[in-house]
Every structure is written in C-alpha cells, then in structure tokens.
Structure 1
C-alpha cells in the first residue's frame, strides 16, 4: 500500500488554508482519540496485571508506561494512527505527507511523553493544537508532523 492516499498530494502536507477539510475539528478529535487510547491502554495493563497473578499491579505505573509505549509505537508505525485515532478519523503524517514509519513513531512517542510529563509544556502544547492553523502540538514540531483528518 502506498504511503499516500487519495486527496493527499505526495511530498507535501495539505495547506491549512486551501485544504481546510484536512484540519477541521482535529483538536477535538485528538482529545477523543487520547481518551479512547487511555482506556485501551489501562485495559491492556489490567490484563497484564491479571496474567502476572497480580504482580503487575505492584508496578502498575511501569506496566502502563511499557504497554503505552509499545501500543503507540506499534500502531502508529503500522497505520500512522492508534486505534483511538482511527476511531476519531484522524492520523499522523510526516513533514512530506507520508505515513509514519518506525523511526518517526518512536521519536514522536518519546516527545509526546516529554510533553505530558511537564504541566507547562503540556498546556503550551494544547494551546498550540487548539490555536494554530495545522493544530500541531509541541511534540509534533521537531519532526514537522501533523495530525489530519483521515483522507478517503
């Protein structure tokens, strides 16, 4: 399957002025996707806790961090979106409009963790997502990536 889909020109991200349909409603969809992914990750962590006969519950923070990292990297590198993102109808794209690969998925996930680890950084990131034309958060900027509505 191609890295590009119908309606998205190869080599570039959609312009937020002329191709607004790719960005309409993305901040709210990002929040929905995040909440869905949190529920799914906690569900997986609960299963891990049960499968380890309760030992996983003693290190629940670590289990959640590991499950979340694997969940995000595996799903973003595979389809450029987590299950929550797919449900919300959005996906991540690289600077050139291509879907995420393993390298970008790992980098984006690590930067996401940095952003959510510090309240000020997280607040700035949320403000950028809500107020910028492309809806990028701080963790999107180093790679030039952005979240768009999934093309048809």
Structure 2
C-alpha cells in the first residue's frame, strides 16, 4: 500500500509572519474561550440552585448533570468553532489566529473536539509544564498540537499586515 506523505505547509523560516506572536495570542484566546464556555455553565448552576429552592430541595439533584453537560458543551464548542470555515474558536478569531493541519488543510469538527480532549488530558496528566514544548520548536507547536498534527498560525489578514510591516496592526 503506498503512503502519501505530505510536506509541512508552513515554514517558519520562509514565512515568519505566520508564527509571530502566536504563543501570547493563544494564551489570551484560551482565556476568552474559557470565559465563553464558563458563562452558560455558571448560568445553568444558578438556574439549578433557584430550581432547587423552588422545589424545596428536589431540584438540587440536577447538579449531577452539570459536570457531564459541561464536558459535552465544551466539546461541541471546540468542535463547532474549530470545524467552522475559519478554523478558529471565538477567542482565536478575536486574536487573529487559526488552526490548520500540519499539511495546510483546515480543521474539522472531530479534530477540534479531539484537540480539546488531548489538551485537557495532557495538562491534567503532565502539568502545565508541557506548554514549554513550544519554546523548543520553530513552529511554536504545543505538545497536543504535535500529537494531533496541527499548527496554530496567524490568520491571513494578520500575516499580510505583519508581512507589509504595518507597525500599528495588532497593537491593541
């Protein structure tokens, strides 16, 4: 069976503008996405609390649904946003980032959901020190990016502005 091995689509030497400032922007994008995921969960917890008061304690039994519902919500969020045509979560869009496969294809729903799972499992099992991996590779990929064959780059608009040397772009 022949194996079709594709070359890396993004070269940090030939296209440094794709990787400039990506790590810092990823951190801010993560915080934005974390807040966007947490807001509905907090609202659901408040609803369950109010429902529990109204039902004289019977509604508090719904709290057991909150952890699995949070996981499902997060997987749908990451799968749907990373699998969208822009291949970026809302936080990544705000920070002008996008996720691609190492050979340049856009992300898809399952890849986005699995990316979130592998991230949380790796952080939980190996501590946040695994994020240091990004400082030792040219593409600034994190451990879960390497495992899944993905790369996070600046989107085309930001890369074009960095390429032309517009110093005011992205200053905010």
TM-score interval, normalised by the smaller of the two chains: 0.7 to 0.9
Which of residues 80, 83, 86 in structure 2 aligns to 1:77?
Answer: 83
- Pair 1:134-2:134 in alignment: no
Task: Please give the residue correspondences for 1:1-20 in structure 2 after superposition, counting only pairs within 5 Å.
Answer: 12-20=8-16
Contact 1:90 1:149 in 2 (8 A): yes
Alignment RMSD: 2.2
**Higher RCO (Cα < 8 Å, 6 or more apart):** 1
Q: Which structure has the larger Rg?
A: 2
1:59 Cα shift? 5.0
Structure 1 match to 2:98: 91
TM-score, normalised to structure 2's length?
0.71
Contact 2:79 2:108 in 1 (8 A): no
Contact 1:13 1:93 in 2 (8 A): no
Q: How many residues align?
A: 140
- Secondary structure of the structure 1 residue equivalent to 2:139: coil
Gap runs ≥5 in structure 2 = 1-6, 53-59, 158-172
Task: Please give the residue correspondences for 1:53-132 in structure 2 after superposition, counting only pairs within 5 Å.
Answer: 53=51, 55=60, 60-78=66-84, 79-120=86-127, 122-124=128-130, 126-132=131-137
TM-score, normalised to structure 1's length?
0.80
Which of residues 133, 147, 150 in structure 1 aligns to 2:152?
Answer: 147
